[in-house]
Every structure is written in C-alpha cells, then in structure tokens.
Structure 1
Amino acid sequence: MSVSEKQAQLIEDLSFIEDRQERLAAVVDRARRRPVFSADLKTEANRVNGCISQVWVTGELGDGVLHFQFDADSPLVKGLVALLVDLYEGGTPADIVATEPVLFEQLGLSRDLTPTRQNGLTAVRAHIKAIAQRHT
C-alpha cells in the first residue's frame, strides 16, 4: 500500500469518529499501545528539533522500505507523532519524501492544536523526510 493510500485509509478509519475531541482522544489512545522506545535511542541525533516537547524518531531501511520508532514526553504529542509514523511506516523513501500529510487538516485535528504543536508536527515531518532522503 502506498503512503497516499495509507493516508486515505487512516482518514477513513478516523473519520468514523464524528466528534473531533473524541477523535483526538482516540489518536492519543493509539499511542499508548506502541512498543517501548529504548532509552539508548534517546540521543541528540534522534531528537526532533523544533518541538517544545521532547520527541525522538528513528528510521531504518529494510527490504526497500523504512521502519520507524519514536517516543515523546507528552501523551498528546506522542499520539500525534504516532499518527505520522503510522502514515509513513513501511513506505519507500521516495514515497515518504513525496507525500505530505493532509490527514490532520482533513480530520479537523489541526483546529484543536496550538500553533506550537502545529510547528512541532511540521518539525517531526521534516525529521521523517530527512531520514527518508538519506535513503533515496
């Protein structure tokens, strides 16, 4: 499945929740079920610059696609980053670079985020894109 197809699927799945606040709560809840991020990966090289919260994202290429791990020190930020990681997980580097995330806007989540959180998501997207560009 391409990143664009995955994005459409995520939007469809989360649009089923009509209330925006409940939708945001579901996004946060998804992150709670993620694998534990190893403490030794919390390095400066993996830290996302531009986030007020502490966010770390790593990516490794395997079989031509990227696999990501992440963590954040805020439950809300962790949920939002999880949504981005879910979008790009298993994508080819070229597909990841080419596909911008529109799901936050289409799901109405952007309206409920402060400008600093929106800037942080932009920084996470840039970090993921940089990881993908290193593998193109």
Structure 2
Amino acid sequence: MTAKDKKQALLTELAHFKDAQQRFAYVVEQGRRQEPLKETFKIDAYRVEGCLAKLWLVSEFKEGKCYFHTDSESAIMKGISTVLCNFYSDLTPLEIVSHDPSFLAEVGITQHLTPNRRNGLARVWEKIRDYAQTQLTSVSEPKRKLE
C-alpha cells in the first residue's frame, strides 16, 4: 500500500468520528492494540526527547522499507505514536520523507492536543523522518570496494 493509499484509508476511518472525544478514543484504542516494546528497548537510546511522558521509538530497515515500533507510559502518546508508526511502516524512505503528518489536522487529531502532546507528536515525526532520510542517503551512496 502506498503512502497515498494509507493516507486515504486513515482519513476515511477517522472521518467516521463526529467529535474529538471519539477520535481520541480511537487513537487510544490503537495504542492499546499495539504490542508493548520489550523492556530491552525501553532505554535512553530509543527514547523520544521533548515529551513529558516516557516515549520510545524503535526503527528498522529491511528489504528497502522502514518499520517503526513505539511504546509510551501515556495512553494518548502511545496511541498517537502508534498511528504514526502504523502509517509510516512498510513505506520506502522516499515515501516517508515526501509525506509529512500534517494531514492529521484534516480530521481533527492535532487541534485538540495539548502543546506538550503536539510537541511529542512533532518529535516522533522528526525521528521517523530523520531515520528515513538516513536510510535514503545510505541507499543512494555508491558502495565502495575495499582495496
């Protein structure tokens, strides 16, 4: 599924909810369904700074695509970061850097977040984008032979 397809599917799903409370309930439910990270990943190396609640993001690259896994002590932050991780997982680095999450405003997700949660969302996006950019750069660099 392309980023465009994923965006349309997510927007369609979120459009069913008539108010902010229903959308937040959906977001929290997405986080609850997500498997928690193993304790070995709940360390500073994977911590997303700039969020009041502890939030971790684990990234991996395989077969030309990026995958993201998250967890948080906060149900809302886990839900929001899960929505982002699910959206950006299984996309190529180029698709990721070409599609920012501003479309979440279209369905009222970001407008009702507290400033701290918006900051956390921004930090998760930055980490996802930066990881994809790093993969994009390493994939496009020519491989050098050892002589």
User: How many pairs were matched up?
Assistant: 136
Which aligned runs of 4 or more in structure 1 are off by greater than 4 angstroms? none
1:102 and 2:102 aligned:
yes
The aligned amino acid for 1:127 is K
- Partner of 1:71, secondary structure, is strand
Per-residue deviation, 1:43:
2.0
Q: Deviations over 1:53-98 (max 9, x none)?
A: 1111111111111111110110011111111111101010111111
Residue deviations 1:35-62 (CA, integer Å, cap 9, x gap): 1211101122211111111111111111
The 8 Å contact of residues 69 and 82 in structure 2, kept in 1 or not, is answered as no
With the length of structure 1 as denominator, give the TM-score of the two structures. Answer: 0.94
In the alignment, does 2:54 pair up with 1:21?
no
Q: CA RMSD in A?
A: 1.2
- Which residue does the alignment assign to 2:112? 112
TM-score, normalisation: structure 2: 0.87
In structure 2, the partner of 1:61 is 61
Q: Gapped runs of 5+ residues in structure 2? A: 137-147
User: Could you tell me the percent identity over the aligned residues?
Assistant: 33
How far the C-alpha of 1:124 sits from its partner, in A, is: 0.7
- The residue matched to 1:45 in structure 2 has which SS? helix
Partner of 1:7: 7
Unaligned runs of 5+ in 1: none
Q: Which has the higher contact order (CA 8 A, sep 6+)?
A: 1
